[in-house]
C-alpha cells in the first residue's frame, strides 16, 4: 500500500463516493447506505470503522482523532430508519443525547452496509470466515459455505464463540454431531434464508448472528430432533450474536478502505457484544440440621 500525504480538502461526501466507485457494486434501488448524520461537506481528519456506532464507540472515535465514523449497522436503532420519526416525536432522551454528541463534535456518520454485503464474496462473510480460520467455497452457489471438518457441533460452537468473541453464543443440536460443512448467514438475515440454508444437502451446521427464537431456532430444534431419531439428516445451528458475527467483516472493510484512501488515517474500532452472559449466582451450601 502506498501512503499519500493527508489531503486537507477531502470531504466526507468525496470519501464515500470514492469508496463506492472502488467497490463497483450496482446500487440497490433502495439502500440504507450513505451519509446518514452530519454535514457531507465536512473535511475528513480521520476515519473510524465499526460494526455498530454506539455512543461509547463514538466517544472512542473522537478520542482517536476521527471525525467520520463508518458503521455497518444503524446508529439510530432501526435498520431502515422507520422508527426514527416516533423517537423524535417522543423526544427520546437516548437518541437526543447521541445526536447531541455527534453535533457537538462535528461528526459525520456513514452507513456502509448493503454494498459490502453485495460484494462478491460478501465482505462480511469473507471477513468472518477468515477470523474463524475457514475459507469460503467458491463452488457453493447461492450461499456462503465453508469446509471445516471433521469436527463436532459442540467443538464448532465453542470455536465460534472464542474466535468471534461471542460471549453469549448458543447452539441447537446434538453436541456430538459430525460437522464437515458450515453455512454462514450472519447478522440478521431472516427465517426464510436461515431455513433454506439449513435444508441444503451440502450444509451440516448453519452459523447465524441472531434469529427469532420461535422461527429459526424452533425450526432448527425440530430438524435436529429428526436427525437424532434417524428421520432426517443431522443438522445444527450456532447463534453467535449479531455484532460478533459481523465484527470481522467490518474489520475487513477498514483494511479495504485503507487501500482506497491511503492519505486518510483509518482506524477500526470493535463494538462490544451487546449483552453479557447472566451467570447463575452460587448459593451457599445448606447447613445440616441439628
> What pLDDT digit, counting tens, does each position of 100-121 carry?
999 999 999 999 999 999 999 9
The pLDDT, as a whole number, for residue 8 is 75
* Phi, psi of 83, deg, nearest 5: -85, -10
The pLDDT value recorded for residue 283 is: 57
- The residue length of the chain stands at 290
For the chain, percent of residues with pLDDT exceeding 90? 90
Q: How confident is the model at residue 288 (pLDDT cuts 50, 70, 90)?
A: low
- pLDDT value at residue 6: 60
Residue 9 is predicted with a pLDDT of 86
Please say whether the beta carbons of 28 and 118 come within 8 A.
Answer: yes
- How far apart CA 163 and CA 267 sit, in angstroms, is 21
CB 245 within 8 A of CB 208: yes
**Whose CA is closest to 216, among 244, 235, 243, 201?**
235
Torsion of CA 247, 193, 168, 128, to 10 degrees: -30
User: In the predicted model, is pLDDT for residue 252 greater than 90?
Assistant: yes
**Cis preceding linkage at 136, omega within 30:** no
Q: How do residues 204-241 score in pLDDT, each as one tens digit?
A: 999 999 999 999 999 999 999 999 999 999 999 999 99
Give the integer Cα–Cα distance in Å for 11 and 13: 5
CB of 75 within 8 A of CB of 109?
A: yes
Task: State the average pLDDT for the chain.
Answer: 94
pLDDT at 282 over 80: no
Q: Is residue 289 pLDDT above 60, yes or no?
A: no
How far apart CA 252 and CA 246 sit, in angstroms, is 10
pLDDT in tens, 128-175: 999 999 999 999 988 999 999 899 999 999 999 999 999 999 999 999
Amino acid at each position: 500500500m502506498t501512503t499519500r500525504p493527508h489531503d486537507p480538502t477531502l470531504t466526507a461526501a468525496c470519501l464515500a463516493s470514492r469508496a463506492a466507485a472502488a467497490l463497483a457494486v450496482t446500487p440497490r434501488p433502495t439502500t440504507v447506505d450513505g451519509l446518514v448524520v452530519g454535514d457531507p461537506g465536512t473535511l475528513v481528519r480521520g476515519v473510524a470503522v465499526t460494526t455498530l456506532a454506539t455512543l461509547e464507540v463514538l466517544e472512542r472515535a473522537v478520542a482517536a482523532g476521527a471525525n467520520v465514523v463508518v458503521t455497518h449497522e444503524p446508529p439510530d436503532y432501526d435498520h431502515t430508519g422507520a422508527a426514527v420519526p416516533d423517537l423524535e416525536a417522543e423526544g427520546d432522551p437516548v437518541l437526543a443525547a447521541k445526536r447531541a454528541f455527534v453535533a457537538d463534535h462535528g461528526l459525520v456518520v456513514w452507513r456502509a452496509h448493503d454494498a459490502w454485503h453485495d460484494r462478491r464474496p460478501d465482505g462480511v462473510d469473507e471477513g468472518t470466515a477468515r477470523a474463524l480460520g475457514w475459507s469460503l467455497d467458491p463452488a457453493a452457489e447461492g450461499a456462503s459455505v465453508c469446509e471445516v471438518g471433521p469436527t463436532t457441533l459442540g467443538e464448532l460452537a465453542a470455536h465460534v464463540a472464542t474466535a468471534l468473541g461471542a460471549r453469549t453464543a448458543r447452539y441447537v443440536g446434538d453436541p456430538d454431531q459430525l460437522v464437515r460443512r458450515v453455512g454462514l448467514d450472519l447478522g440478521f438475515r431472516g427465517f426464510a434464508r436461515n431455513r433454506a440454508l439449513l435444508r441444503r444437502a451440502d450444509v451440516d451446521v448453519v452459523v447465524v448472528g441472531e434469529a427469532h427464537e420461535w422461527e429459526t431456532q424452533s425450526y432448527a430444534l425440530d430438524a435436529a430432533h429428526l436427525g437424532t431419531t434417524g428421520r432426517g439428516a443431522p443438522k445444527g445451528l450456532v447463534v453467535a450474536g449479531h455484532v460478533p458475527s459481523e465484527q470481522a467483516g467490518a474489520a475487513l472493510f477498514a483494511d479495504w478502505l485503507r487501500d482506497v484512501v491511503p492519505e486518510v488515517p483509518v482506524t477500526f474500532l470493535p463494538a462490544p457484544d451487546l449483552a453479557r452472559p447472566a451467570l447463575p449466582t452460587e448459593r451457599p451450601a445448606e447447613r445440616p440440621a441439628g
